[in-house]
Amino acid sequence: MGEARFDGKVAIVTGAGVNPGMGRTYARLLAERGAKVVVNDLGVGPDGRGSVRADPDAVVAEIVNDGGTAIVDHHSVADEASARAVVQTALDSWGRVDILVNNAGVGIVAGFEEISAADLQTMITVHLFGNIWMCRAAWPHMREAGYGRIVNITSGGMLGLPGLTLYGAAKAGILGLTRGLAREGQPLGIRVNALSPGGATVAAEHSYVIDPDALRAFKEACPPELVAPAVAYLCHDSCEISGTLLNASAGRVWTTVFADTAGIHDPALTIEGVRDHVGELLDTEPLTVLGDPRDPMGARNPQADLFVPKPYRSA
């Protein structure tokens, strides 16, 4: 099929100013393959406090020095107006936006009771609302063009890790956003997927105490550059899937799926009936996978079809 190229495409990569960092590798690979790239970063680093600075201007310089095309954008993604300004940067420069990689985020490791209200607010706003506002800003332009590729960056933290309960909640919200937008985008030519990356970045070293030998092995095995090809595929014309969660780390790429167990059915169900059949509820043979990644509209819930939304009235 030949080399996967992005010639003529305009991409926005948020949170792309950290080195080493995931967003930087996404921006560099897209530019290397021909995309014009908006390198967005507020510059406050992985914890959102500026203790480790990000430098999106340096990333743009790297791309340009390598023969690519990129411009910098310093707006926040965390509110509606500034997210629109990020998209406007692409429109003002190149008149279109084809690709959006929502990578921006802050990582604050803290217990559920320990984390401050301010840090909690920051984390939810940057991750969840940042994705929402960026998608909302880019969506009408993609809809008008009849084409778009959106990649929302999630995390394994959404499945439950110590110190990442609220971070995980925000990331799980991003996955829900992805699944819904995939349905809405299907008839519009917009494909929306999520990706959970694993790699050695500044954020990992900043947030955790890591044995030096283990850190060295981690860096060797899991450079962020090995995540970028999976992200770039989801950004490409040839991407056939939508509403899917991919994972990428150390050169391995795999999919996390949603599936139903057979469960039980009892028209006279009681508390005891549930209690006494928990084993059957949890039995993973057989499983019914939910959703078709090549046709998000195809696998429909018959019960959901009974509910027709009433006309929306704005508050």
The answer to whether the beta carbons of residues 193 and 242 sit under 8 Å apart is yes
Beta bridge partner(s), residue 13: 39, 101
pLDDT of residue 25: 97
Q: Would you state the pLDDT for residue 307? A: 76
Q: In a structure prediction context, what are the per-residue pLDDT tens digits for the chain, which is 315 residues long?
A: 799 999 999 999 999 999 889 999 999 999 999 999 999 999 876 666 655 678 999 999 999 999 999 999 999 999 999 999 999 999 999 999 999 999 999 888 899 999 999 999 999 999 999 999 999 999 999 999 999 999 999 999 899 888 899 999 999 999 999 999 999 999 999 999 999 999 888 777 667 777 788 878 878 888 999 999 999 999 999 999 999 999 999 999 999 998 999 999 999 999 999 999 999 999 999 998 888 888 887 655 666 677 777 888 887
Rounded Cα distance, 12 and 148, in Å? 12
- Are 87 and 54 in contact by the 8 Å Cβ rule? The answer is no
Confidence (pLDDT) at 24: 97
Burial string for 7-43 (b: 16+ CB within 10 Å, else e) reads: eebbbbbbbbbbbbbbbbbbbbbbbbbebbbbbbbbe
For the record, the structure tokens of 135 come out as 């998608």
Q: Report the sign of the C-alpha dihedral through residues 177, 180, 183, 188, in that order.
A: negative
Distance from first CA to last CA of the chain, Å, rounded?
50
Say what the pLDDT of residue 301 is.
64
CA atoms of 149 and 6, how far apart (whole Å): 12
Supply the pLDDT for residue 201. Answer: 81
Residue 55 confidence (pLDDT): 92
pLDDT of residue 211: 78
Q: CB neighbours (10 Å) of residue 300?
A: 11
Active-site residue, 208 included: no
User: What is the reported pLDDT for 206?
Assistant: 63
Catalytic residue among 167, 208, 233, 312: 167
For residues 59 and 65, what is the distance between their CA atoms, to the nearest angstrom? 10
Record the pTM. 0.93
Q: What is the DSSP string of the chain?
A: ------TT-EEEESS---SS-HHHHHHHHHHHTT-EEEEE--SS-TTSSSSS---HHHHHHHHHHTT-EEEEE---SSSHHHHHHHHHHHHHHHS---EEEE---------TTTS-HHHHHHHHIIIIIHHHHHHHHHHHHHHHHT-EEEEEE--GGGG--TT-HHHHHHHHHHHHHHHHHHHHHGGGTEEEEEEEEE---HHHHHH----HHHHHHHHHH--GGGTHHHHHHHHSTT----S-EEEEETTEEEEE--EEE-----TT--HHHHHTTHHHHH--SSEEE--BTTBTTTS--TTGGG-PPPPP---
- On whether the CB atoms of residues 160 and 210 are closer than 8 A, the answer is no
Domains and CATH numbers, the chain: 10-256 (3.40.50.720), 260-306 (no CATH)
